[in-house]
Structure 1
Amino acid sequence: MTPRSGAQARRLASSPFAPKIEAEVECFEIDDRVSHQTYGLGRVVGKEAAAVTVDFGNRRMRVVSPFHKLERL
């Protein structure tokens, strides 16, 4: 058996073993207007490394990354 070189093996696009493409995580800034699928419209009032705090008027929620249900307006 011969040792493998450092090159990665090529895979077909339809292969079930193809590496997963990671979605880009959106970055939010303080005072950004946002919309959440469950809580509605809000404004970013706090920012952490992996979460944002959003004021939705009647409540403040901490939304953790990745922000699947949160979009910037």
Structure 2
Amino acid sequence: MTKSAGSRRHLASSPFTADPVPVIEQYAVGDHVSHDAHGVGRVIDVESAAVSVDFGAQTVRVTSPYAKMTKL
């Protein structure tokens, strides 16, 4: 039986540093963003775990954690 690869607990006595907590970017309506696949766009709607971005030719709903998107 194998153990799942879920999150591991960091022991205080460990000589290794704990994994950093990922920082999830927060977006607001009107923010200009750059996406790896879709290019430059503008945030038009913000939800709890996703944002809708107008890229000119199309509107795309991008879900959190927004790994391929950065704020300009």
TM-score above 0.5: yes
Structure 1 segments of 4 or more deviating over 4 A?
A: none
CA RMSD of aligned residues (A): 1.3
- Stretches of structure 2 that go unaligned for 5 or more consecutive residues are 1-10
**Matched residue count:** 62
- Stretches of structure 1 that go unaligned for 5 or more consecutive residues are 1-7
In structure 2, the partner of 1:40 is 39
* 2:28 is aligned with 1:60: no
Shift of 1:30: 0.2
TM-score (norm 2): 0.78
Q: Which amino acid aligns with 1:37?
A: D
Shift of 1:42: 0.1
Shift of 1:19: 4.4
State the identity as a percent: 39
Larger Rg computed on CA atoms: 1
